[in-house]
Amino acid sequence: MVVQALLEGEQILDIRKGGLREDGRHFTVQSRRVWLYPTVEHQHAGLLKPAYQRWVASTAAAAPADRAIRVEGWADIVGVATATEPEVLDALDGKVIWAREYVETRFRWKARDPLQVLALRVHRLDDPITVPFRDDYGGCTSWVDLDELPDPISVPSRPALSDAAFEARYQGAADAIPGGFARPE
């Protein structure tokens, strides 16, 4: 659902803690430019704010046959914030489609690890790309290498939000999150 929210300009942020399949179960930014890979992990209507719960059924209905993956966009990770204090949950609440309770569970899970907040400059592909599903794409992880895809910048696309709209949302998020964003390494 986050991929849909990003592509539709409903949000520019993603939150990460690290998946069960990640090295050491810790999240790190592995690339500054990424394909937006839609998954079904953690996709339950109850995890979303009521206005977005309908997306669960519509996304499942629109999924390609044979578990193929329909890639509709890519993003540049333009900012990373580390959240260690619960006050950041208030700042995130109006900026993501996730229900507040779900964001709180992500914040509390592995309490010694900070919540990572990513700011993404998203681009929609002019023509989506469908790739076959492989078993190594599944599971709880933040990063999947889709080897058969080209460099995202080489595929015709357009920004999900105008420059002005993106900049306003980015600045609003940066102002709301203690310490703001740093450029990813």
pLDDT in tens, 49-79: 888 888 776 666 666 667 778 889 999 999 9
Is residue 78 in some structural domain?
Answer: yes
- pLDDT of the residue at 20: 47
Is residue 184 in some structural domain?
Answer: no
Q: How far is CA 107 from the centre of its chain?
A: 16
Q: Please say whether the beta carbons of 74 and 34 come within 8 A.
A: yes
The secondary structure of residue 96, as a DSSP letter, is: S
Is residue 60 in some structural domain?
Answer: yes
The pTM score is 0.83
Q: Which domain holds residue 158?
A: 2-176
Pick from 178, 32, 5: which is nearest to 118 by CA? 32
Is residue 181 in some structural domain?
Answer: no
- Report the relative pairing of strands 157-159 and 33-35 from DSSP bridges: unpaired
Check which CATH number belongs to the domain holding 100 and give it.
Answer: 2.30.130.30
Amino acid at 173: A
Q: Please say whether the beta carbons of 49 and 97 come within 8 A.
A: yes
Pick from 68, 20, 62: which is nearest to 41 by CA? 20
Number of folded domains that form the chain:
1
What are 96-126's pLDDT values in tens digits? 988 888 888 888 887 788 888 999 999 999 9
Is residue 141 in some structural domain?
Answer: yes
What are 146-164's pLDDT values in tens digits? 667 788 889 999 999 999 9
Mean pLDDT, the chain, as a whole number? 81
Looking at the chain, the whole-number percentage of residues with pLDDT higher than 90 is 30
Is residue 114 in some structural domain?
Answer: yes
Is residue 88 in some structural domain?
Answer: yes
